[in-house]
Chain A
Amino acid sequence: MAPISFTDAIERVVAGNRVYAQQTAEQDPNFFKTLATGQAPEILWIGCADSRIPETTICNCMPGELFVHRNIANTVHGNDLNAASVVEYAVAHLKVKKVVVCGHTKCGGANAALGDADLGETLNTWLHPVRELRRKHKIELEELPDDDARSARVAELNVHQSIEVLKQHPAIKKAIHDRGLSLHGMIYDIGAGHLKLLEEAGGKKSNGLWSADH
């Protein structure tokens, strides 16, 4: 491994922030003033912690547009208070209009779920539901040509599963019913830089973008 300078890495980020603040203020002197007044994001983004998918950047969005939760393998567990609190705050309080779950190709979590290697108790427990998906879809996965394809499919299945869990969240149930909140599954192709909408996850084909009422 190349020698690393700790100070340089941190200085780089601090300098990066100064450039960001300066450039942003030059483009729009009122930008930060407006930002300070509050947030009204339309979208809750649930994505992977993976460093290669900075959501706001890859969607060319501005600060203030995406409320964000990112964890290992964009997994939503029914008993996870962390994600449930994010959902509650975003849906019941900020009243976002859409919830996006975005998985991705080459996902370390999905890859790890293709086997049963011991990752330590914490990660084994966290990834257990994803590994269960692999077992449940064993035949389908075995027919795929290679592990890249298999992990991409596991990532998709995991997005669908997270959406199923989200549909049971009380704030989401209520918002779907009261104001037509919609849920969307996506896959980000790291090798191409492209987002793909998963139709069956509640996209256009199944029930329209705005009426996940079922």
Chain B
Amino acid sequence: MAVPSEQVIKYLQQSHDRIFENNRAWAEEHRKKNPEFFTKLSAGQEPDYLWIGCSDSRIPAEAITGLGPGEMFIHRNIANLVCNTDLNVMSVVNYAVRHLKVKHIVVCGHYGCGGVKAAMTPKDMGLLNPWLRNIRDVYRLHEAELDQITDEEKRYDRLVELNVVEQCRNILKTAAVQQSYAKNDFPIVHGWVFGFQDGLLKDLKINFEEMLKGIQKIYDLSAE
């Protein structure tokens, strides 16, 4: 490989060191404010929320919701997908629902999602094809509605929303969520979208009860 120049090396070193300097400053600040802060965290976690969001660097879940360490269990992947055969996300849902007993599950998409855009690009994306295929499937499920939207930007925005709705549905298809809800009346599943224009979350106002009933007509796994 080409040997990086002195300048590049210096820059990389600085951007790397910055993380550690920032981290030390952050820890020091919290210890000053509350000497017990880290000791308490060390004892365990009892988050009320599970967040399933996009990997996009612009949406740090805790920061944009004003939550502190210990409050939100997090899974982030490309385009906030919940795939039935994906052991990764299924392990997260399982652990959060069955072991941590979270009260809310939030699926949060965002407008201008690169994953959604890439999925709708007529191009071979190699390794990403199978993952992004799930988004094309969302389009196909809602083809009639989406095809009617002539403005391309608005059509993408709507696809982002519909993708969130479908992922909420996928969460409801799991035995963990169905069984916990039958027993405890939680978790409740929410679908939200984050907008970069104003930094605000939009609630898609999913009717959880109705959606669950609809799902269980075919996907009923509530009997243990």
Contact = CB atoms under 8 A, between A and B. Distances in A.
A82 B89 contact: yes
Contact of A82 (B15, B98, B131): B131
Interface in B51-88: 55-78, 83, 86-88
Most chain B beta-carbon contacts within 10 A, residue among A10, A84, A98: A10
B150 interface: no
B61 A54 contact: yes
A21 B92 contact: no
Given A6-B186, A85-B127, A89-B118, 8 more contacts: A13-B65, A17-B201, A50-B45, A52-B69, A57-B68, A59-B22, A82-B88, A195-B20
Interface stretch (B35-43, B138-146, B161-169): B35-43
A71 B60 contact: no
B185 to A, nearest CB: 9
Contacts of B27: 58, 192-194
B94 A86 contact: no
Given A32-B197, A56-B62, A191-B39, A10 B104 contact: yes
B91 A126 contact: yes
Contact of A55 (B15, B45, B60, B127): B60
A190 B41 CA distance: 7
Nearest to A71: B88
Contacts of A21: 64, 198-200
A84 to B, nearest CB: 6
Interface in A172-214: 176-180, 182, 184, 190-195, 197, 209-211, 213
B59 A210 contact: no
A177 to B, nearest CB: 5
A20 B63 contact: yes
B73 A123 contact: no
Contacts of A55: 60
A36 interface: yes
B197 A33 contact: yes
A85 B86 CA distance: 12
Given A36-B112, A123-B95, A213 B72 contact: no
Contact of A85 (B128, B201, B203): B128
A127 B92 CA distance: 11
Interface string B176-212: 0000000000101010000011111101000000000
Contacts, number: 264
Contact of B57 (A4, A16, A25, A39): A39
B122 interface: no
Nearest to B66: A16
Nearest to B89: A82
Interface in B1-25: 1-2, 4, 8-9, 12-13, 15-16, 19-20, 22-25
B45 A68 contact: no
Contacts of B57: 39, 41, 63-68
Closest 3 CB pairs of A and B: A16-B66, A193-B27, A60-B22
B74 A89 contact: no
A53 B76 contact: no
B4 A54 contact: no
A33 B12 CA distance: 27
A159 interface: no
Contact of B41 (A41, A52, A182): A52
Contacts of B62: 54, 56-57
Contacts of A9: 48-49, 103-104
Contacts of A17: 64-66, 199-201
A35 B57 CA distance: 10
A54 B4 CA distance: 32
